[in-house]
């Protein structure tokens, strides 16, 4: 029987956006900002020597450049985020994380919070476990 461990790291960033595809008159069509919190959940094999899947400091080294791409930016100007809903941002983060994580470490869930009362959870293109 194999064990599975999921780890999470938070990415906090301040960004502005507007939603050009929102209905006419919707408040989110106007430019506004959020203090975003994204949880990046990853999985991988447990290293029997270290006792961890990945050192959190190493995970930070891979994720911090992504955070910097988003922090104090207009999300609509970030390539791939021309309609930066929380759902689209979660999918964008999944793709970016999958591209930069070390071999054997995969994203399993991305949670994006644009306010303390709302969240979006993305589990990848299919709902099957990695």
CATH number of the domain that 29 lies in?
Answer: 3.30.479.10
pLDDT in tens, 39-69: 999 999 999 999 999 999 999 999 999 999 9
Q: Which domain holds residue 52?
A: 5-122
Rounded CA separation 100/106 (Å) = 10
In 3-state terms, what secondary structure has residue 82?
coil
Considering the entire predicted model, what is its pTM? 0.93
Collect all residues with Cβ–Cβ distance below 8 Å to 28 and sequence separation of at least 6: 18, 19, 22
Q: Provide the number of structural domains found in the chain.
A: 1
Residue 81 vs residue 128, higher pLDDT = 81
In a domain, 127, yes or no: no
- Give me the active site residues, please: 28, 72, 114
pLDDT in tens, 103-127: 999 999 999 999 999 999 999 986 5
């Amino acid at each position: 029987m194999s064990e599975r461990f999921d780890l999470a790291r938070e990415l906090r960033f301040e960004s502005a956006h507007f939603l050009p595809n929102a209905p006419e008159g919707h408040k989110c069509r106007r430019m506004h900002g959020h203090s975003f919190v994204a949880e990046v959940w990853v999985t991988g094999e447990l290293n029997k020597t270290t006792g961890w899947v990945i050192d959190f400091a190493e995970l930070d080294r891979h994720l911090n450049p992504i955070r910097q791409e988003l922090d104090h930016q207009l999300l609509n100007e970030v390539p791939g985020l021309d309609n930066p809903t929380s759902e689209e941002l979660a999918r964008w983060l999944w793709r970016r994380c999958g591209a930069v994580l070390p071999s054997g470490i995969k994203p399993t869930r991305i949670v994006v919070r644009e306010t303390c009362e709302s969240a979006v959870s993305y589990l990848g293109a299919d709902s099957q476990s990695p």
